[in-house]
Amino acid sequence: MLTPLHNGWFRQPEARHVLLTTVASDAHTWNLVYLELLLVELGREVTNLGPCVPVSTVVESCRRRPPALLVVSTVNGHGAADGLELVRSLYRDPATRAVPAVIGGKLGIGGAAGECRRDLLAAGYRAVYEDTDPETPYEFLARALDTAAGPAGHVRDSA
């Protein structure tokens, strides 16, 4: 997958680089530590942005160093709403539109998991993981990494 640079040239994302983040409202950290270890075990180089990450920081990080995959982890129950805002901002920006993103964790409250999943997929996430899913996080991430290595996206930078 190719991601554009500010000068209009395309940059090849580093195949091993995964950007790991949570949403702006989420202060939980052990989920991030756990997923970072899983991704390292899967042979990836991980940038972990830590808790409470503003949308603008995620988008800027993707612009500066396009990852092969953006992994969003959120457990505080606001993830479904905040995750939507994040992916919409990411895909509104021509420079980051080609970055494949997945999201997972404890996404909502009140058992609206199905609805959350549908909305998040419709907004652009390649895959959505709910804690109640039968697949393990390891299996989900291994599959997401395989899928992200698919055909290149071509988006030209508007800047």
Does 31 bind ligand B12 (CB under 6 A)? Our answer is: yes
Query: For residues 128 and 131, what is the distance between their CA atoms, to the nearest angstrom?
Result: 10
Residue type, 86: L
Query: For residues 133 and 130, what is the distance between their CA atoms, to the nearest angstrom?
Result: 5
Query: For residues 136 and 134, what is the distance between their CA atoms, to the nearest angstrom?
Result: 6
- 82's tokens: 């905040």
Q: Using CB under 6 A, which of 13, 67, 100, 137 touches ligand B12?
A: 137
* Shortest separation between residue 29's beta carbon and ligand B12, angstroms: 4
Contact 72, 23 (CB under 8 A): yes
Does 125 bind ligand B12 (CB under 6 A)? Our answer is: no
* Shortest separation between residue 134's beta carbon and ligand B12, angstroms: 12
Does 109 bind ligand B12 (CB under 6 A)? Our answer is: yes
3-class SS of residue 94: coil
Q: Residue 95 or residue 116: which is nearer to ligand B12 going by CB? A: 116
Query: For residues 133 and 45, what is the distance between their CA atoms, to the nearest angstrom?
Result: 26
Does 104 bind ligand B12 (CB under 6 A)? Our answer is: yes
Residues in the chain: 159
Does 106 bind ligand B12 (CB under 6 A)? Our answer is: yes
Does 124 bind ligand B12 (CB under 6 A)? Our answer is: no
Q: Is the dihedral of CA 31, 32, 33, 39 positive or negative?
A: positive
* Shortest separation between residue 72's beta carbon and ligand B12, angstroms: 7
* Shortest separation between residue 60's beta carbon and ligand B12, angstroms: 21
Does 16 bind ligand B12 (CB under 6 A)? Our answer is: no
Interaction site with ligand B12 (CB under 6 A): 25-31, 34-35, 71, 73, 75-77, 102, 104-106, 109, 129, 131, 137, 140-141
